[in-house]
Amino acid sequence: MGFAHATITLTNSGDEAVAARGFLPPESVRKTEVRALVDSGASTLVINDTIKNQLGLRVQETAEISLADGSSQVCEIVGPVDIRFKNRHTVTYALVIPTASDVLLGVIPLEGMDVIIDPKTQELALPPERPYLAQFIVR
């Protein structure tokens, strides 16, 4: 299987909340559309410094992370950030790897949106049995 990519919209969730209360014009909500690498081996959303600054995301904490090459580094956790794909969305925090060339979309936001990786097309897709409404298992 090759690489799967998806066009997603990232939005500063804090801006959205302030705009919903009427304290910020809706057109001032910071957002960006990006082409993300869908990575089922990554846990969450990974962005770089450019996107963090463009969205004005606030640093929540720092954490040590393990990278695919086996190395580790300390990085910032920022957010909250709203992720939108087609008719789905979720809110999460993002890891900031300053030099990351790709936005990585990991399994936590994928599950939060109830989307799948289509192995035939190698694209992010809505589950064919529930394209209009996300489904979650709560036990």
E strands, 13-128, in order:
31-38, 45-47, 58-66, 72-85, 88-96, 103-105, 116-118, 123-125
Q: Give this prediction's pTM.
A: 0.93
Residue 134 lies in a domain: no
Residue 135 lies in a domain: no
Residue 136 lies in a domain: no
Number of domains into which the chain is organized? 1
Residue 35 lies in a domain: yes
β-strand pairing of 103-105 with 58-66: unpaired
Neighbouring C-beta atoms of residue 45, cutoff 10 Å: 27
Residue 98 lies in a domain: yes
pLDDT tens by residue, 98-133: 988 999 999 999 999 999 998 888 899 999 999 999
Residue 22 region by backbone torsions, left for phi larger than 0, else alpha for psi between -120 and 50, else beta: left
pLDDT tens by residue, 68-106: 788 899 999 999 999 999 999 999 999 999 988 999 999
CATH of the domain at 72: 2.40.70.10
Q: Which domain holds residue 90?
A: 4-125
